């Protein structure tokens, strides 16, 4: 099993036990807490207490976030349930500007007295910080939205589905994989519910209910004769949907090249596990790739990670400015490149947008964590760098007057800051299927699902692997390959993009664990694309040693 996949599966199960269990309002007994939730008007009254306190202490701006964060992990292995974990965290974070400087404080005492004390601490921190502030914080204007709400448009709340139903589904998937010859199977269902209330001194009171779902597994096979070991992860995508994603509707399946079944708006974990067991044995027997230049046909379940690392991160404005450097580096897309309005990021086929509103995506919300209504905007237009991802106290640096609405905090106790939106490659304008794309390739490789990767601190030079690799010869898939990784730099790679399939092939994938900041925070983000072709990319053999 790859280290990345191992961390995804075992880390979510075991690591969940380290998540906060004791942050309950008013010292309420956790067993009774669900019966004593605050309604919207109670939250508003508490927020107003903080807003009034901050104003009386000299704050020129204040926002309050009251949050309840729920997670559920159901993990199994072969015929056994390994763990069922529920976490719940509840508290408030208060952010202020005093003397032109930010201050932040948080508390799990969600009472009038608790919010006042947290606000007093935030003001005191801002005043202390102001001694070192060289320039005052400049916030872009945003409308006052009054009292509004937003909910993820779910059909079935996963937290209301009986645990037994989830366990039975995972064990059934494990059993199917074992029947098909798998040696080991790990599987998990991970559910997230963020109940977030935002209030600001500008008059917005925003109540949001956000749901995310991620079914996942790893099917493993061992060839004892050769000593080889291969792992095939699930073809599921983490989604901003409810439990209906696991319905596995036939109309949501896509028959991809190489005889593989892919998934779009719903997912059949049992079918996928059975297919994975068959494929993982083929992966062991596959031919090792010959290094050289190939035309790559990259399927959306693979391309999302390349987009994330080589486009999503370098277009974050704080990385561009060098404000963010310790966690995953800065960016080669410096302001001078953007200011020319001519920087050739990619070919004319490359149109990439940021979008916090895309239905079904992990990053979809109505409003970000500083009360800005979310939207969609261009990052790369016809191959040219046209914009970045920026929030209220950043956009003035690039001469813009409106936040992009991509501010986020992983919880009530963490300060919100600029985070990646859903960043996606737009489908091609002409009708083109993956099969038609492959028919035009003489020497190439079709790659499915993300694997290992490495990228430098400016998000420029990189190497990406995958999971399934199919050799293309003279327009036809000839069989499976292994030991494949490709190397390029970001600009050369995106300029080698010659075709993108049309919107019929568009799909999203993504991650729950996009890390950033110190102390680090995790963000959930999706990246969409259709299958795309990149010509003349350098491929290496990862199985050979020098």
Tens-place pLDDT, residues 259-300: 999 999 999 999 999 999 999 999 999 999 999 999 999 999
- Domain contains 546: no
Residues 6 or more apart whose CB falls under 8 angstroms from that of 157 comprise 211, 242, 243
Under DSSP, is residue 394 helix (H, G, I), strand (E, B) or coil?
Answer: coil
Q: Establish if 447 belongs to a structural domain.
A: yes
Within a domain: 19: yes
The continuous run of DSSP H or E covering 339 comes out as: helix 335-339
Structure tokens at 100: 């032109």
Judge if 465 and 336 occupy the same domain. yes
User: pLDDT value at position 36?
Assistant: 55
Distance CA 418, CA 433 (A): 36
State the DSSP code for 7. Answer: I
Instruction: Indicate whether 53 and 150 sit together in one domain.
Output: yes
Backbone φ, ψ for residue 474 (5° rounding): 50, 45
Displacement of CA 27 from its chain's centroid (Å): 33
Secondary structure string (H, E, C) spanning 158-210: HHHCCHHHHHHHHHHHHHHHHHCCCCEEEEEEEEEEEEEEEEECCCEEEEEEE
296 with 384, same domain: the answer is yes
- My answer on whether 298 and 361 are in the same domain is yes
Residues of the chain scoring pLDDT < 50: 1-35
Are residues 352 and 302 both part of a single domain?
Answer: yes
d(CA 45, CA 111): 10
Sequence-ordered alpha helix ranges (H) in 204-299: 269-285
Q: Which of 261, 285, 309 is the last residue of a domain?
A: 285
Q: Which pLDDT score, from 0 to 100, does residue 327 have?
A: 80
Instruction: Supply the pLDDT for residue 22.
Output: 32
Q: How many CA atoms lie within 13 A of 308 on its CB side?
A: 27
- Pair (460, 337) in one structural domain: yes
If asked whether residues 259 and 192 sit together in one domain, one would say no
Spatial contact of 372 and 208, defined as CB atoms under 8 Å apart: no
Task: Quote the pLDDT of residue 34.
Answer: 41
Three-state DSSP at 317 gives: helix
Q: Are strands 292-298 and 443-455 parallel, antiparallel or unpaired?
A: parallel
Give residue 16's pLDDT: 44
178 lies in a domain? no
- Beta-bridge partner residues of 210: 194
Residue 222 Cα distances to 40, 184, 273, 280, angstroms:
54, 9, 16, 9
Question: Is residue 323 in some structural domain?
Answer: yes
Which DSSP helix (H) or strand (E) runs through 98?
strand 80-98
70 shares its domain with 158: yes
Is residue 143 domain-shared with residue 232, that is, in the same domain?
no
Decide if 177 is inside a domain: no
Range of the domain at 106: 3-171+186-211
CA angle in degrees (0–180, nearest 5) for 538-467-457: 55
Specify the pLDDT at position 29.
36
CA distance 282 to 286: 6
**In a shared domain, residues 390 and 245:** no
CATH of the domain at 67: 3.30.2290.10
Half-sphere exposure of 384 (CA within 13 A, CB side): 9
The span from the CA of 223 to the CA of 229, in Å, is 6
418 occurs within a structural domain: yes
Same domain? 94 vs 229: no
- Count of domains observed in the chain: 3
CB 371 within 8 A of CB 202: yes
Can you give the length of the chain in residues? 546
Boundary residue ending a domain (264, 285, 306): 285
In the prediction, which pLDDT does 395 show? 97
Tokens representing 488 are: 């390029």
Please list the residues that pair with 316 across neighbouring strands.
Answer: 389
CA separation (Å) from 448 to 126, 398, 477?
Answer: 49, 38, 13
**Whether 296 contacts 276, CB under 8 Å:** no
- Residues 513, 490 within the same domain: yes
On the CB side of 278, how many CA atoms lie within 13 Å of its CA? 9
Phi, psi angles (nearest 5°) of residue 20: -65, 130
**Residue 271, CB-side half-sphere exposure with 13 Å CA sphere:** 16
**Distance between CA 401 and CA 416 in Å, rounded?**
20
Residue 180 within any structural domain of the chain: no
User: For 526, phi and psi rounded to 5 degrees?
Assistant: -110, 155
Q: What angle do CA 329, 335, 341 make, to 5 degrees?
A: 130
* Domain edge (last residue) among 251, 285, 319: 285
Backbone angles phi, psi at 432, to 5 degrees: -160, 125
């Amino acid at each position: 099993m790859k280290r990345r996949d191992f961390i995804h599966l075992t880390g979510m199960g075991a690591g969940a036990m380290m998540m906060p269990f004791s942050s309950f309002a008013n010292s309420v007994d956790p067993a009774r807490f669900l019966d004593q939730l605050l309604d919207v008007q109670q939250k508003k009254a508490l927020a107003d207490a903080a807003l009034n306190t901050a104003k009386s202490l000299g704050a020129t701006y204040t926002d309050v976030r009251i949050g309840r964060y729920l997670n559920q992990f159901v993990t199994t292995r072969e015929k056994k349930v390994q763990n069922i974990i529920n976490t719940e965290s509840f508290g408030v974070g208060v952010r202020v500007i005093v003397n032109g400087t930010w201050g932040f404080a948080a508390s799990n005492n969600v009472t009038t007295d608790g919010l006042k004390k947290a606000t007093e601490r935030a003001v005191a921190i801002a005043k202390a910080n102001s001694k070192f502030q060289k320039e005052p914080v400049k916030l872009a204007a945003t409308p006052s939205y009054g009292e509004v709400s937003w909910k993820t448009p779910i059909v079935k709340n996963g937290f209301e589905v009986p645990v037994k139903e989830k366990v039975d589904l995972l064990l059934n998937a494990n059993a199917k994989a074992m029947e098909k010859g798998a040696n080991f199977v790990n599987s998990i269902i991970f559910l997230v519910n963020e109940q977030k209330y935002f209030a600001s001194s500008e008059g917005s009171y925003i109540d949001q209910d956000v749901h995310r779902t991620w079914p996942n597994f790893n099917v493993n096979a061992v060839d004892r004769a050769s000593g080889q070991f291969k792992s095939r992860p699930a073809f599921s995508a983490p989604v901003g949907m409810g439990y209906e994603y696991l319905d596995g509707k036939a109309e949501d399946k896509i028959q991809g090249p190489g005889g593989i079944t892919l998934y779009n708006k719903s997912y059949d974990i049992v079918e996928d596990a059975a297919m994975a067991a068959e494929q993982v044995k083929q992966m062991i027997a596959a031919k090792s790739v010959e290094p050289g230049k190939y035309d790559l046909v990259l399927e959306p379940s693979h391309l999302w990670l390349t987009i994330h690392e080589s486009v999503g991160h370098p277009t974050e404005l704080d990385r561009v400015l060098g404000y963010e450097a310790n966690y995953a580096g800065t960016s080669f897309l410096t302001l001078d490149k953007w200011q020319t309005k001519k920087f050739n990021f990619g070919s004319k086929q490359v149109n990439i947008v940021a979008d916090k509103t895309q239905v079904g995506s992990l990053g979809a919300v109505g409003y970000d964590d500083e009360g800005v209504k979310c939207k969609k905007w261009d990052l790369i237009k016809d191959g040219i760098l046209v914009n970045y991802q920026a929030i209220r106290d950043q956009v003035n640096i690039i001469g813009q007057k409106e936040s992009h609405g991509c501010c986020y905090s992983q919880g009530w106790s963490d300060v919100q800051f600029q985070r990646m939106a859903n960043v996606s490659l737009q489908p091609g304008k002409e009708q083109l299927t993956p099969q038609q794309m492959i028919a035009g390739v003489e020497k190439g490789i079709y790659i499915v699902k993300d694997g290992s990767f490495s990228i430098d601190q400016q998000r420029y030079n990189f190497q990406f692997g995958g999971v399934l690799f199919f050799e293309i010869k003279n327009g036809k898939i000839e069989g499976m390959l292994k030991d494949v990784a490709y190397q390029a730099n970001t600009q050369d790679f995106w300029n080698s993009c010659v075709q993108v399939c049309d919107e019929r092939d568009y799909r999203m994938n993504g991650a729950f664990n996009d890390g950033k900041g110190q102390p680090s925070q995790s963000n959930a983000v999706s990246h969409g694309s259709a299958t795309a072709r990149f010509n003349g990319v350098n491929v290496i053999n990862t199985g050979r040693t020098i």
